[in-house]
Chains A and B, each alone.
Chain A
Amino acid sequence: MSAYSNIKRLTRLALASALALSFAAPAVAQDADRVESLRQPYVDAVKGKKVVFLVTTLGVDLTAAWHKVFTDTSAKLGIDYSVRDSNWNTQAQVQAFDALLGEKPDAIIIQNWNLSLTARQIKKAEEEGIIVIQLNQKSLMNSTAHVGVDWTGVGVVTAQEMVKQCGKDSGRSGKVAIIQGDVTASDSFYQMAGVESVFAEHPEMSIVANQGGQWDPNKAHDLAVTMLQQHPDLCAFYGMWGVMAMGVGQAISEAGLKGKVFSYSNDGGSRYACDAVKSGDFTKFWSYDAPNQARDVMQLLTYLFQNDYTPGTLKGAIYSPLQEISLENYSDTLCWDPAKK
């Protein structure tokens, strides 16, 4: 898929979110029975709402894709959207959130650094009438919605795949190595929980190494090299972020073990993930389709805005459907192209 068609795709998503509303529609008098009764209330409810996105960094494809959908959708709906980029600095996110509590936007979308960092602010924001949507990385403090991956579920499906390939009757060692992003981040925490729940029923499986790669492909590479040395009969790697886990794939190639040691990972599913599946760097990969996650957030917000929702009265999750990608079902269309820089 070309960059152009990708931009088209992102734009299409934004358009879909806007329910194809045309603000330039001529103001002609319409018969009462030809007026779609939800339309005007929708337009009025979302227009002028202030939405702020607290992101860990805009410097990666995943978050840049979210930001693009938020920006485009907001522009079409007349939402006052802005972003506060903490640029890999946890404390900056706390400060930005504290400042927002004073500014009182209508909604805050937050990609949490870890499980506990902004728990207090999330609670306070909802008490003060600000809707808090947690995107992908959730806090221990629940709010109106967690939109994003069911991390425990990802851990479970990945572990089940590892059991299938490395477990009993596979003729392999059952030894797996895990490289987490940051061990305090919610995705790592819950993916590990998922993995451990599956392995608990499969005593033949063992986690022989488990380290944090700090979201860094180079670090993941070096860790993987050492782990491969240390465990020559290692069966599989589980790298908890695709961008980082590409370093693992490289280490496997260098050791001449491509196809012999399996590599599993997941992320927002940009083109590079598909490339890595195609090249064999990933044996199997789960994409949570970042642009559609952002669409889910915007759809939810417009619905809440229409209903004069009082924050704190609803709690729930909107889990992102997972797309499994391997050589068996490979197609270029399973991934999206990051916007050209």
Chain B
Amino acid sequence: MMLVAIEFLAFSTLLDGFLSSSNLLSLVRSIAVLGILGAGLSIVVIARGIDLSIAAMMAVSGSWAVFLVGQGVPEWQALLIGLAFAAGVGAVNGLLVAFMEIPALFTTLASATILLGASQLFMVFGTVVYLPPEASFTAWLGQGVVLGIPVSIWIACAALLAGHFALARTRWGRFVYAMGDNVETARLSGIGIRPLTVAQYTFAACVAFAGGLTLVGANPTFSVRVAEGGILFDLILIVVLGGVSLSGGSGSIVGVLAGTLLIGIMLNGVTIMDLTKQYQDLLKGVVLLAAIIIDNALHPRDEETDRQSDI
């Protein structure tokens, strides 16, 4: 949080126009989807998993639902189909990780690739989806404004609050931390590790679907390739910056919110400075590396964590 404040102050002083209220609103709006997905991903990472398919899930499930609307399916049905699809694939991810015990890294990397391939071949038949006029609810999610604040920001708040509540206030949340801290101990204390894992990946996928809708609804056109761009990188960045340790067991949604703001402010600042994409990538890479080094220093390997392979 302190880093966020420092960065915010630096940009406010150095960059003209950064501090205008409309810039701040547009800043938050452009990172709303990161906040939404960050809420889903952080729960998986806290439990010492990883979901690399979350960006693909976001793009594919959201764009498929909108594509179906364009094909004449009533919007509410299309959205239910999209949600069911996301939940289904998320559950499959979870089942593979929990029951087949395939490392989450490989499972979700593979499912991301499968999702993107299937979307081009069988689902939206291409990489660009057009927002049909009938998809008015989705357009509202992406473009609507309630009480002066974009709907996508409300959804991000809801996702982060739900994540925070689940992690900090429920037994389920404590089990997630226990599992991330030490799977064996958690299992021995009677926590149903496998169903819990399936639930985490399903939750992440459903959150991804919601995030996808806000993104697909935001513009008249949507490129499924968003998933292949830097968004996954940005997500891991915010999760790690948010203090969620990649070796599990620690971190909170409040931290993820801070991480989201940090990245959002940085992305907004570099655009205002008109830096080229190469510089932007360089900057992000350096920040991620620094964050991982700090994470490593704060959570040094010990006998217990060494027994787990890295994600």
Contacts and interface: CB of A to CB of B under 8 A. Distances in A.
User: Are A and B a genuine interacting pair, yes or no?
Assistant: yes
Interface string B206-229: 000000000100111111111011
B126 to A, nearest CB: 4
A210 B127 contact: no
B223 A217 contact: yes
B143 interface: yes
Contacts of B215: 218
Contact of A218 (B125, B219, B276): B219
B26 interface: yes
A272 B129 CA distance: 11
The 5 closest A-B pairs by CB, nearest first: A59-B127, A59-B126, A341-B125, A226-B271, A229-B23
Given A59-B128, A61-B126, A210-B274, 6 more contacts: A87-B120, A217-B220, A217-B223, A244-B223, A246-B220, A250-B143
A64 B221 CA distance: 17
A254 B226 CA distance: 21
B171 interface: no
A293 to B, nearest CB: 18
Nearest to A250: B219
Given A216-B223, A230-B17, A281-B220, A57 B127 contact: yes
A215 interface: yes
A181 B227 CA distance: 17
A66 to B, nearest CB: 13
B26 A218 contact: no
Interface of A: 57-61, 64, 87-88, 183, 209-212, 214-219, 221-223, 225-227, 229-230, 232, 243-244, 246-247, 249-250, 254-255, 272, 275-276, 281, 341
Contacts of A249: 220
B20 interface: yes
B128 A243 contact: yes
B30 to A, nearest CB: 4
Nearest to A216: B223
B222 A217 contact: yes
A58 to B, nearest CB: 7
A68 to B, nearest CB: 13
B30 A222 contact: yes
B219 A246 contact: yes
A64 B23 contact: no
Interface in B92-139: 120, 124-128, 130
Which has the most chain A C-beta neighbours within 10 Å: B124, B215, B219? B219
Nearest to B23: A229
B226 to A, nearest CB: 6
B218 A88 contact: no
A250 B228 CA distance: 23
B53 interface: no
